[in-house]
Amino acid sequence: MARYLVTGGSGFIGSNIVDELLHRNQEVAVLDNLSTGRKENLAGVRDRIAFHEADIRDLDKIRPLFQNTDYVIHLAALPSVPRSVADPITSNAVNIDGTLNVLVAARDAKVKRVVFAASSSAYGDNPVLPRVETHMPRPLSPYALTKLAGEYYCVMFTRLYGLETVALRYFNIFGPRQNPDSPYTGVLSIFIAAYLRGQTPTIFGDGEQSRDFTFVSNAVDATLRACTAEGAVGKVINVGTGDRYTLNQTVALLNKMFSKQVTPDHGPVRQGDVRESHADITLARQFLSYEPLVRFEDGLRRTADWARATLR
């Protein structure tokens, strides 16, 4: 049995990772300040984990939590492109200063490895598709820049201090527990909630922007593989499906799924939004033995089923 510390473990992705770790009979601790995570995401497992309410910006407070830890899965962040555009200072403090604190605490506690949740937003408006890890980053938002800085810090800590790190560039993760009522959530959770509530979803732009929508089970699988994969140390690796759908195609799928004929509203393109997103997952296959477990349409159905059962 290994001991895992999951920062941001009460969030959407983090709580799914906690569930899978417990399913594998691992020892789990969660560090979260509950600014975007929700206690109810861990309600069914609180008696099986150690929960620490703390902020990664406070190094002195979090440092003891890393003792006797084998693996750190670092998901804690201030998400959302629009939020970072509106408030770049806080995004910088959480996503860069906080990540540096996590790395320092892990190094000093002699943690075996840190797996960092990076972001496909680092590619920005690079016109080449699919996105390959060697492409020049061209971040379009403070959020994307902060996630790119986190990658660089991970690689640097591996080279300078010998702390094993892996940075995973997540591509548009979606699935159960993604909160549709947050203004900073993913587009799919907002769309599905709109269908269930009889509302009209809004597309910012013409709807031809594409995304490599990645069901959360795929991200969980890749993340846990990255904790122990020998060849992954010091690398930046895409985690997606290797496929992409436009928002217009997604609406057509939801219309079929919900037996409706919804015509979405359209708003102006948002600052910092990326036009195209499509992962090359060659490195994930090579170094993580990763293969997407759930394809987009199946994941969309599973997410809709979860929303039907939980949303009001």
Supply the residues annotated as catalytic. 143
Phi, psi torsion values for 178, nearest 5 degrees: -75, 120
C-alpha distances in Å from residue 89, one per residue of 92, 143, 306: 5, 10, 35
Nearest CA among 199, 176, 188, 204 for reference residue 85: 204
C-alpha distances in Å from residue 65, one per residue of 60, 72, 103, 200: 10, 11, 13, 45
Q: What is the DSSP string of 44-101?
A: TTGGGSEEEE--TT-HHHHGGGGTT-SEEEE------HHHHHH-HHHHHIIIIIHHHH
C-alpha distances in Å from residue 52, one per residue of 5, 46, 196, 244: 10, 11, 35, 37
Helix 216-228 crosses helix 12-23 at what angle (to 10 degrees)?
A: 60
Amino acid of residue 47: D
Report yes or no: 149 and 158 within 8 Å, Cβ to Cβ.
no
Residue 71 forms beta bridges with which residues?
A: 4, 113
Nearest CA among 23, 26, 119 for reference residue 6: 26
